[in-house]
Amino acid sequence: MKLKKLAAVTTAAVMMATPVLADLMFPSLSYRTGPYAANGTPVADGFADYYTLLNQRDGGIGGVMTRVVECETGYSTEKGVECYEATKGDGALVYQPLSTGITYQLIPKVTADGVSLLTGGYGRTSAANGDVFSNVFNFPANYWNGASHAVNHVLDVNGGDISGKSIALVYHNSAYGKEPIRTLEELAAKHGFSLSLLPVDHPGQEQKSQWLQIRREKPDYVFMWGWGVMNQVAIQEASNIRFPMENFIGIWWSGSENDVAAAGDAANGYKALTFHNVGTNFPVFDDIQKYVVDAGLAAGDGSNVGTVLYNRGLYGAMLAAEAVKAAQAIHGVADITPAMMRDGLENLVVTDESMEAIGMKGFGPNFAVSCENHGGPGLGAVQQWDATAQSWNMISGFEPSDMDVIQPLIDADSAAYAAENNIPSQCN
Amino acid sequence: MLYREAGDFKTSYAKDSQTFPIKFDRWGYWVIMVIAFGVVPFIINDYWVSAVLLPFLIYAIAALGLNILSGYCGQISLGTGGFMAVGAYASYKLMTSFPEVPFFFHVIIAGLITAMVGLAFGLPSMRIKGFYLAVATLAAQFFLVWLFNKVGWFYNYSASGQISAPERTMLGYAVTGPYASASAKYLFCLVFVVLLAWIARNLTRGSFGRKWMAIRDMDIAAEIIGVNPLAAKLSAFAVSSFFVGISGALFFSVYLGAVEVGEAFGIQKSFLLLFMVIIGGLGSIFGSFAGAAFLVLMPVLLKNLLVGTLGWPTDLAVHFEFMIVGGLIVAFLIFEPHGLAQLWRLTKEKLRLWPFPH
Amino acid sequence: MPDQLLFAIEVTLNGLMAGVLYSLVALGFVLIFKASGVFNYAQGVMALFAAMTLVGIQKGQVPFSHLINSILGTDLHYFGWHIPALIAIVLTAGVMVLFAWIVERFVLKHLVNQPDIILFMATIGLTYFMEGFGDLMWGPDLKKLDVGLAQGGSLWIEEHTAFLGGDGFYGFFIDKLDIAATVVAALLVTALIMFSQYTKQGRAMRAVADDHQAALSVGISLRFIWVLVWSVAGFVALVAGIMWGAKSGVQFSLSLIALKALPVLMLGGFTSIPGAIVGGLIIGVGEKLFEFSVGPLIGGATENWFAYVLALLFLVFRPQGLFGEKIIERV
C-alpha cells in the first residue's frame, strides 16, 4: 500500500514537471555530483551559458527561445536512462550525454524514437558511419582520430620517422579506455613503433605499478586515455619518476586545468589533444561576460569561464545551435521538431564565415557533415600546459588524422553492428 | 475493522500454514495481482517503465536472491554485482549464439549458469564466517568484473568491450531492443518476479528454508541436530545466485540494453543490493520488495519533487537527496531497527487489534 | 645483481610503502570496530570530508556557499584569508571531534544494544548523508591539497643505489611522499598505542572494547568513549585523507579508498591494530609483486582482485584473520 502511495505522489510530481511550451529544448544530461563532478560541472556550465547568451543577446535561435533542461546523471547509466525518458517527450532536440556508457545505451533508443545524439569526442567511434547510425553524430573528432593525432604529433616531432620507437598507452580499464587500442595497433604496424598497454582500474587512485613499469621499460612516449582522478594521479606519478612531460600526451579528456592542478609546477610541458581552441580570446567571451556573467545569469559561479572543459561545453552547445540554424534553413520553420534537427545535424557545415558570424572564428575546425559521414574529417590539435602562466596553449593547428587506417576500422565495426541488429543502409 | 482474523476459521493444515492467513491479505494479494497484470500494462508509458517499474522489479529479484543467502542462511555476500554480471554476460552469449531459442529460456539458463558460478564461489563459506565472508565474496566481485572486461570472447570481441542486447521477441512481441514496448518489457519482468517470489516463498518455508535458518541462527548447533552445513550453505549460494543471475540478465537485456561491466556491475551494485536487503528486512520476502522500492523510488521521487516541482538546481537537489535518504535510513533504524518489513508487521499487528488498544 | 631481481626489490619496496597507505585507511576501521563493534562503512567518506574541510579552512572557503548564493542571490565564495597548514589541521581535527559528538548524540546513542548489522546499517545511512553534506558544504570541484609535503622520487636514494645494477637500472625509486606517509603512520601508531596503554581514557577505551557491560558496571561512560573513539577515527581519516589527497587532489574519488582497506582488514583481522599494519604491508607487497610478475602475462590491472584473492587464501587457513581474536563457538 505504501508503494502505491509513493507511486501516486510520484505521478503528481512528474505531471507538474512537464510544461509544454513552443521553444527549442536542449536536454543537458550533466553530472555535477559523483566521482566525475569536478569535470562535469564546467562542461555543463559552458553548455548552459551559451544558450543563455543566445536568449539574452539574440532572442533565441531564429526568433525561437531556447530552453536547457538539466538532468543530473551522476555519470550513472541508470540515472542516464531515467533522464532520457524524463526529457524525451518534452521535445528534446539533441542529446549530449557526455558519457560513453550512456551513449551506448541511447544509440538504439534515439534511433527508435527519432531523436538525435551528438557525442563530440566520445561515445561509439563507428557511429561516424551515418549509413548505419542514422541518428548518431560524433563530429568533429572521435577517439580513433585522437589516437592518430597523437601518433601524428610524435611523427612531426621526430621528422616523420618513428620506427623502432616505443609508445606506452596508459588507459582507463573500461570501454572508453580500450577504444584507441585497435587503431594504435594498426598504426604501430604501419609506422613500426612498438606499443605496450598499461590498464588502470577504476578509479585509478593507485598507479604505482604502472609507472614503475614505465620507469623500467623507458618508453619514448606515453599516451593516456584517462578520466577523473586517474588523470591527476598519472600526471603526478609521471612527474615523480621524472618522465619528460613533453613526451606525455593525453587524450582531450585528460587535458583540463583540473588534471594538471594537483601536480603543480611538475606538470609543466604536459601535452593533450583537443578539438577546439583554448582561452577566452574570442569575441563570444566578451558577450558571455556582458550578457550572462555580469547579468548574474551564469550557470555556475562564473569562475569556470574559459577553462578547457567549459569551452568544450560551449563548443558542443554552439554546434547544436548551428545545426538548428541549418535545420531552420532547410525546412523553413523556426520551431523545429527533433526529426528536422536530425536533418540539420546531417547538413551542418562549419566554415570560417559561419564561425566568424558568431564570434568564434578559429575556435574549432572547419568541417562538413554528410549522410554517410557523421563524424566529419576528424580534425584535431595539440595543446600544451604552461605551469608558470597557468594556461593551456595551442601548439598546432587543427590537423587531419590518418583516415586510411581509421576508415576501414569504422566500416568493419559499423558493419558488424548493422548485421547484428539488421539495420538497412540509410543513405541510398 | 476489516483487518482481523475473527471468523476466518482454518479447517485443514494446508489452510493453517498458508502465506496469507488473513482474508483481507488474500484479497489484497489478488487485487494487486489483477492490477499489476490487468491494469498497469495499459496505463504505463516509457518513463514509468524505464525509470521506476523495471528497476524496481529487477532489483527486487536480486534482493530476493540476496535475502535468501544473507537473510535466511546468514551468509553475508558482497559479490552480488559480480553474479549479476555473470547472468548478463551469459544471456548475451546465449542470445547471440543461439538466436533461435526463445529468449525466456536464455534468461533461465543464464540463471542456472550463475548458480554454478555461485556454487564455486560459495565454497570458502565452509571455513569463513561473518564479515570475513562478506569481504571474501568481494574477491568474486572483483575477479568476475576483471574477467569480463579482459577476455574478448565474453563480449564477442567488440571494439570497446560494451555488450548490446539485440532484439528478441516473446510470443511475437519484442521484449528487448529499442522497439520493445513499455508494457511488453514490464510484463516480461513481472512474470519473472511473480514466479521467483513464489519459488522463494515456498523454498523458505519448506525444509530447505528451515535448514538455512538453522544454519543462520547457529551453524554448529544446526550441524548437531543433523543439518548438513555443506549442503545447506551451498544450496543457499546456488539458489541465491540463480535469482541474482536472472536479475542480471534482465537488467542487461530488458532494462538497459547495453552495459559495460565495470560501470553497471561494479562494487557499488553489490553494496546497493545489500543496503536494499538490510533496509527492507533480513529474512523477509516482503522486505526484499520494500527495500528495492525504497532505494529505487526514493531518489526518483525526491528528484522530481526537488527539481521538477520546486525548481532547485540539479546539483543541490542531488546533495539533498543523499542527505534525505541517509537521514531516513538512520531515522528508520532508530524507530524500527529491523527494517521496513518489521515496520509492516507491526502495522499489521496494530491493525488486527484496531480500534482496541490491547 | 641482475636487473630483474633489483626491479623485484624495487617493486617490493614500493609495495611496502603502498601498504602503509592502505594501513592508514584500515586503522580507522579497526579503531571503531574494536571499541564499539561497528563496521564503519562511512570511514572512506570521513576521509573525504576531513580532507575537504582541511582545504576549505586553509583557503578560507565559505561553507555552503552554493546553497547560500542560490537562496539569497548573493555571490559569496571566499572569506579572503589563508590559514597555515598546521593550524588548519588542528581546526579540522576539531571539526572531526564535533562530527564524532554529533554522530554519538544523534545516531549511536539511540542504537545501544542493537545487533552489529543494525549498527552497520546506520553507518550506511551516515555515508549517504555525508556524501551529500560534504559536497553541499564545500562543493564538488577538485581541490588542490597543499600542506607542504614533499613529493616526487627521492634523488638521493636513486643516486646511492644506482651502482647495484647495470646500465638499465637507475637506482631504486622511492616517492618522498611515501616516506613521509610511513613516518607519519609510525608516529600515529606509536601515539595510539601510548594513548591506549598509558592514559586513563585509553585504558577505559580498551575496557569498553573488551566488554561493554563490564565496562559500564565499573563506571566507564560508554557514550564518552564512543565520542572519543569516533574522534580518534576521524583524526586517522584526516591523516589518510591528507596522504591520499596530496597525490590526487581532493575530490569524490577519495571516498573510494575505503575499498583498498577491506582486504587489509580481512587479512589482518578486524580487531587488531598491528594486524592492520601487517595486513597492509602484505597486501601492498603481494599485489604489486603479482602485477609485476604475472600481470603482463594476463593483461594487467590485476591489483584490485588479487588483493582479495590473496586475503582469501590467508583466510582459508586462518578464518579470523592473521591477528584476529580466535573465534570460539559454543552451542
More confident: B66 or A417: B66
Phi, psi of B19 (to 5 degrees): -65, -45
Residue A420 burial class via C-beta count within 10 angstroms: exposed 0-12, middle 13-18, buried 19 and up: middle
Nearest to C132 among B224, B278, B320 (CB): B320
> Are residues A153 and A262 both part of a single domain?
yes
Q: Residue B15: which domain range?
A: 1-43
| Residue A324: pLDDT over 90 | yes
- The ranges assigned to domains in chain C are 3-258
| Residue A242 included in any domain | yes
Q: Each residue of A385-408: pLDDT tens digit?
A: 999 999 999 999 999 999 999 999
In this complex, do B316 and C67 lie within 8 Å of one another by their Cβ atoms?
yes
In this complex, do A100 and B260 lie within 8 Å of one another by their Cβ atoms?
yes
> Are residues B155 and B37 both part of a single domain?
no
In this complex, do B304 and A421 lie within 8 Å of one another by their Cβ atoms?
no
> Are residues B90 and B233 both part of a single domain?
yes
> Are residues B7 and B68 both part of a single domain?
no
Q: Is C308 on the interface with B (CB under 8 A)?
A: yes
C window 155-174, beta carbon within 8 A of A: 168, 170, 173
Nearest to C270 among B131, B221, B322 (CB): B131
> Are residues B145 and B227 both part of a single domain?
yes
The confidence score (pLDDT) of residue C46 equals 94
Q: CA A222 → CA A161, A170, A177, A273, B190, distances in Å? A: 17, 7, 14, 13, 50
> Are residues B73 and B207 both part of a single domain?
yes
> Are residues A325 and A371 both part of a single domain?
yes
Q: Each residue of B36-64: pLDDT tens digit?
A: 998 888 888 888 888 899 999 999 999 99
- Is A91 in a helix, a strand, or coil? coil
| Residue B145 included in any domain | yes
- Cα distance between residue C299 and residue B228, in whole Å: 41
> Are residues B12 and B129 both part of a single domain?
no
The confidence score (pLDDT) of residue B357 equals 65
| Residue A234 included in any domain | yes
For testing the chain B interface, which of C294, C305, C330 should be mutated: the one with the most B CBs within 10 Å? Answer: C305
Chains in touch with A (≥3 Cβ pairs < 8 A): B, C
Domain boundary among the residues B218, B234, B267 is at B267
- Cα distance between residue B46 and residue B118, in whole Å: 34
- Cα distance between residue A32 and residue A79, in whole Å: 13
| Residue A2 included in any domain | no
| Residue A427 included in any domain | no
Question: Given pLDDT bands bounded at 50, 70 and 90, which one contains residue A88?
Answer: confident
Q: Is C311 on the interface with B (CB under 8 A)?
A: yes
Q: Is B329 on the interface with A (CB under 8 A)?
A: no
Number of CB pairs, chain A paired with chain B, less than 8 A apart? 148
Q: Do B137 and B147 form a contact (C-beta atoms < 8 A)?
A: no
The three grid cell numbers given for residue B160, joined into one nine-digit string: 570497446
First and final C-alpha spacing in chain B: 14
- Cα distance between residue A359 and residue A9, in whole Å: 47
| Residue A11: pLDDT over 60 | no
| Residue B358 included in any domain | no
| Residue A217: pLDDT over 70 | yes
Q: CA C22 → CA B269, C18, C187, C263, distances in Å? A: 23, 6, 16, 9
| Residue A384 included in any domain | no
| Residue B326 included in any domain | no
| Residue A358 included in any domain | yes
The confidence score (pLDDT) of residue A45 equals 93
In this complex, do B333 and C331 lie within 8 Å of one another by their Cβ atoms?
no
| Average predicted confidence (pLDDT) for chain A | 88
In this complex, do C77 and A301 lie within 8 Å of one another by their Cβ atoms?
yes
Domain boundary among the residues A274, A295, A313 is at A274
Segment B233-258 mean pLDDT: 94
| Residue A313: pLDDT over 60 | yes
Helix (H) or strand (E) holding A195: strand A194-200
CA distance B275 to chain C (A): 7
> Are residues B20 and B82 both part of a single domain?
no
Query: What residues contact residue C175 under an 8 Å CB cut-off, 6+ apart?
Result: A208, A240, C14, C17, C151, C152, C153, C154
pLDDT in tens, chain C (331 residues): 677 888 898 899 999 998 998 998 899 998 888 887 788 889 999 999 999 999 999 988 888 888 888 787 777 788 888 889 899 999 999 999 999 999 999 998 888 778 877 888 889 899 999 999 998 999 888 888 888 887 777 888 887 777 777 777 777 888 888 899 999 999 998 998 888 889 998 888 888 877 878 888 999 888 889 899 999 999 999 999 998 888 888 888 888 888 888 889 888 888 888 888 999 999 999 999 998 888 888 877 888 888 888 888 888 888 877 877 777 777 6
In this complex, do A262 and C253 lie within 8 Å of one another by their Cβ atoms?
no
Nearest to B263 among A71, A101, A113 (CB): A101
pTM of the model: 0.91
Write the Ramachandran bin of C64: left for phi over 0, alpha for psi from -120 to 50, otherwise beta. Answer: left
How does DSSP classify residue C325?
Answer: P
Q: Is B279 on the interface with C (CB under 8 A)?
A: yes
CA distance A241 to chain C (A): 6
How many structural domains does chain B have?
2
Nearest to B178 among A108, A125, A178 (CB): A108
Minimal-distance CA residue of chain B relative to A80: B51
> Are residues A289 and A250 both part of a single domain?
no
| Residue B78: pLDDT over 50 | yes
Buried b (16+ CB within 10 A) or exposed e, B169-191: ebeeebbbbbebebbbbbbbbbe
Amino acid occupying residue C131: E
| Residue A418 included in any domain | no
For testing the chain A interface, which of B25, B48, B150, B162 should be mutated: the one with the most A CBs within 10 Å? Answer: B162
Domain boundary among the residues A274, A297, A325 is at A274
Domain boundary among the residues B248, B267, B286 is at B267
Nearest to B162 among A3, A175, A422 (CB): A175
- Cα distance between residue C264 and residue C33, in whole Å: 14
Which ipTM did the prediction report? 0.88
- Cα distance between residue C90 and residue C94, in whole Å: 6
Domain boundary among the residues B202, B233, B267 is at B267
| Average predicted confidence (pLDDT) for chain B | 88
Question: Given pLDDT bands bounded at 50, 70 and 90, which one contains residue A18?
Answer: very low
> Are residues B34 and B57 both part of a single domain?
no
In this complex, do B224 and C331 lie within 8 Å of one another by their Cβ atoms?
yes
What are the beta bridge partners of residue A195?
Answer: A167
> Are residues B113 and B94 both part of a single domain?
yes
Segment A62-66 mean pLDDT: 91
* Percentage above 90 pLDDT, chain A: 59
Bridge-based pairing of strands A116-118 and A94-95 is parallel
Segment A260-284 mean pLDDT: 91
Closest CA to B179 of C131, A328, A108, A418: A108
In this complex, do A258 and C175 lie within 8 Å of one another by their Cβ atoms?
no
Q: CA quadruple A360, A364, A366, A371: dihedral positive or negative?
A: negative
> Are residues A190 and A302 both part of a single domain?
no
Q: Residue A204: which domain range?
A: 143-274
Please report residues of A whose CB lies closer than 8 A to that of C142: 38, 232, 258, 261-262
Segment A189-218 mean pLDDT: 90
The three grid cell numbers given for residue B40, joined into one nine-digit string: 498497469
| Residue B141: pLDDT over 70 | yes
The confidence score (pLDDT) of residue A13 equals 44
Question: Which region among A32-41, B330-339, C17-26 has the lowest average model confidence (pLDDT)?
Answer: B330-339
Segment B86-103 mean pLDDT: 92
> Are residues B219 and B126 both part of a single domain?
yes
For testing the chain B interface, which of C104, C119, C121, C265 should be mutated: the one with the most B CBs within 10 Å? Answer: C121
| Residue A287 included in any domain | yes
The confidence score (pLDDT) of residue B126 equals 83
The confidence score (pLDDT) of residue B54 equals 94
Residue B195: count of CB within 10 angstroms of its CB: 13
- Is C102 in a helix, a strand, or coil? helix
DSSP per residue over A363-412, as a string? Answer: SS--EE--SSBSSTT--BEEEEEETTTTEEEE-S--B---HHHHHHHHHH
The confidence score (pLDDT) of residue B231 equals 92
The confidence score (pLDDT) of residue C317 equals 85
In this complex, do B128 and C316 lie within 8 Å of one another by their Cβ atoms?
yes
The three grid cell numbers given for residue A174, joined into one nine-digit string: 573500461
Q: Do C43 and C233 form a contact (C-beta atoms < 8 A)?
A: yes
Whichever domain contains A215, its CATH number is 3.40.50.2300
User: Which of A122-136, B104-118, B343-357 has maximum average pLDDT?
Assistant: B104-118
Q: What angle do CA C66, C68, C73 make, to 5 degrees?
A: 95
| Residue A10: pLDDT over 60 | no
For testing the chain A interface, which of C22, C77, C179, C253 should be mutated: the one with the most A CBs within 10 Å? Answer: C253
B window 30-49, beta carbon within 8 A of A: 45-47
In this complex, do B149 and A174 lie within 8 Å of one another by their Cβ atoms?
yes
Chains in touch with C (≥3 Cβ pairs < 8 A): A, B
Q: Each residue of A93-113: pLDDT tens digit?
A: 999 998 888 998 899 899 889
> Are residues A42 and A122 both part of a single domain?
yes
Domain boundary among the residues A274, A293, A327 is at A274
The confidence score (pLDDT) of residue B358 equals 60
Segment A228-243 mean pLDDT: 91
Q: Each residue of A167-178: pLDDT tens digit?
A: 999 999 888 888
Please report residues of B whose CB lies closer than 8 A to that of A124: 160
The confidence score (pLDDT) of residue B1 equals 55
> Are residues B124 and B229 both part of a single domain?
yes
What are the beta bridge partners of residue A198?
Answer: A170
The confidence score (pLDDT) of residue B345 equals 85
Q: Each residue of A367-389: pLDDT tens digit?
A: 999 998 998 888 999 999 999 99
> Are residues B32 and B135 both part of a single domain?
no
CA distance B340 to chain C (A): 13
Q: Each residue of A325-358: pLDDT tens digit?
A: 999 999 999 999 999 999 999 999 999 999 999 9
The confidence score (pLDDT) of residue A19 equals 45
Please report residues of C whose CB lies closer than 8 A to that of A238: none
In this complex, do B333 and C118 lie within 8 Å of one another by their Cβ atoms?
yes
| Residue B357 included in any domain | no
DSSP per residue over C288-302, as a string? Answer: HHHHHHTHHHHTS--
In this complex, do A420 and B166 lie within 8 Å of one another by their Cβ atoms?
yes
